[in-house]
Amino acid sequence: MSDAAYDAVIAGAGIVGAACADECARRGLRVAVIERDIVGSGATAAGMGHIVVMDDSDAQFALTRYSQRLWQELRPHLPDDVEYEQCGTIWVAADAEEMAEVWRKHDHYKKRGVPTEILDAQTLKGLEPNLRDGMSGGLLVPEDGVLYPPCAARFLLERARERGAELRLGASVVEIGEGHVRLTDGSEIRAKIIVNAGGASAPELTPGIEIKKRKGHLVITDRYPGFLRHQLVELGYLKSAHSLRSDSVAFNVQPRRTGQILIGSSRQHGAEHTEVDNDMLKRMLRRAGEYMPGLATMSAVRVWTGFRAATPDKLPLIGPWPQDKSVFLATGHEGLGITTSLGTAKILVDLIRGAKPEIPVEPYLPSRATEECTHA
């Protein structure tokens, strides 16, 4: 049997594929990345680009925190157009019940070494004067940040290529498995490991992966410097991200370095088309207006949609695919792809290399899906 040309071939040049390529190359693997479109053309281009810790579950917390630290280490090396800003997140509490959740989160993060600060109503108003009156307070997570994902993906790929990684754009993968990748032009690439980093399209390459598209909408405004300083998220965001069945919206806004405001968020099930859904858009913007009335008269420059890759237990799939030992998955990141891309890459290459990952990885292994487990 002849040698495979590569140690790893990665299908998908989004942020996850790019991070994996960077890590593979850094650790001496011969790697190629195959992408049918342009770098970062999927959820990487469409998403909000936040880097946040989330405590929906211990496993989610562990991965986001691990990965956020990796971003902080990487930060000095990032070029200017990646626009990394450590603006922090404020989880906004609109009533007493949500304020209780603020306290809970604060304790939870404190125990785990994540700096947070509880904001009472007055302090919150001082930090974010454009929030409407009557908020109960919030939780500031100062180490959260935002960046511009397409440039981050490009940077990671450039670094990988400097170390010998290959990038093939405009090449469409038809089939992967058993140590080879077959393209639409009929050619085949042989690799020891194939990494499916296909995001919402991952099931096309590896039938049987339980990933569903979860559509989102975003609106970006013209420049209003100083209107918003932190990323703001309503505590109801978790209710929205939780829901497995209904379509939902949640208040989530982000200041870009340009002074533009990015307004989200929405989640829809079963929507396959990329067109803007007027009703979802209306709901999302009305929700945003309930928190920040000043948004209403701002100039909205663009509206777009994207598909998150969602798994049933809301955790990504990182590791060997039980049905084919040459295939590894690095996908299913839902709304946390940017955040967890670096952590995913490290774990993936640890698993490929047989090294011990820095955090427990059982919750992310694709093999978990074949075991009995209760879903949240």
Partner 1 sequence: MSRDSQHRFDVLVVGGGPAGIAAAVRAAEGGVRVGIVDDNATLGGQIWRAGSAEGDTKEAAGWRRRLCTAGVTTVCGKRIFHQSEPGVLLAEGADDRIELSYRSLVLATGARERFLPFPGWTLPNVMGAGGLQAMVKSGLPIRDQRVVVAGTGPLLLAVAAYLRSHGAEIPVICEQASWSSLVRFGVALISWPEKIVQAFELKKDLAGVPLAANCWPLAAHGQRTLDRVTISRDGKPESIRCDYLACGFHLVPNLELPLLMGCQIRGGYVEIDDFQQTTVPGIFCAGEPTNIGGVDLSLVEGQIAGLAAAAGSTGEARKLFPARRKARRFASILERTFGLRPELKSLPSAETVVCRCEDVPYSRLQRHTSWRAAKLQTRCGMGPCQGRVCGPATQFLFQWNPVSVRPPVFPVRVESLACFREVTEPEHTVGAGGKA
Partner 2 sequence: MPNQVTVTVNGAIVTVPSGATVAVAVAIAGQACRVSTGGEPRGPLCGMGICFECRATINGSAHCRSCQILCEPGMEVKTDE
Q: Is 359 left (phi over 0), alpha (psi -120 to 50) or beta?
A: beta
Point out which residues bind partner 2 (CB under 8 A): 222-224, 258, 297-299
State the DSSP string of 325-369.
TTEEEEE--GGGHHHHHHHHHHHHHHHHHTPPPSS--GGG-GGGG
- CA-nearest of 336, 361, 53 to 199 is 336
> What is the C-alpha to C-alpha distance for residues 336 and 314, in angstroms, rounded to an integer?
10
Tell the smallest beta-carbon distance from residue 256 to partner 2 (Å).
11
List 104, 112, 239, 286, residue binding partner 1 (CB under 8 A): 286
Nearer to partner 1, 178 or 222 (CB): 222
CA distances from 279 to 242, 276, 293 (A): 21, 9, 19
> What is the C-alpha to C-alpha distance for residues 322 and 194, in angstroms, rounded to an integer?
13
- Give the range of 103-111, 117-125, 216-224, 358-366 binding partner 1 by CB under 8 A: 216-224
Nearer to partner 2, 129 or 164 (CB): 129
Q: Contacts with partner 1 in 226-285 (CB under 8 A)?
A: 263, 276, 278, 281-282, 285
Q: Does 154 bind partner 1 (CB under 8 A)?
A: yes
Q: Residue 134 in 3-state DSSP? A: coil
Residue 289 touches which of partner 1, partner 2, none (Cβ within 5-8 Å per kind): partner 1
Q: Is 6 left (phi over 0), alpha (psi -120 to 50) or beta?
A: beta
Residue 224 touches which of partner 2, partner 1, none (Cβ within 5-8 Å per kind): partner 2
Tell the smallest beta-carbon distance from residue 224 to partner 2 (Å).
7
Q: Does 38 bind partner 1 (CB under 8 A)?
A: yes
Q: Does 376 bind partner 1 (CB under 8 A)?
A: no
Residue 154 touches which of partner 1, partner 2, none (Cβ within 5-8 Å per kind): partner 1
User: Residues 306-345: x/- map of binding to partner 1 (CB under 8 A)?
Assistant: ----------------------------------------
Number of C-beta neighbours around residue 86 at 10 A:
14
Longest dimension (CA), the chain: 70
Q: Contacts with partner 1 in 218-237 (CB under 8 A)?
A: 219, 221-222
Q: Does 118 bind partner 1 (CB under 8 A)?
A: no
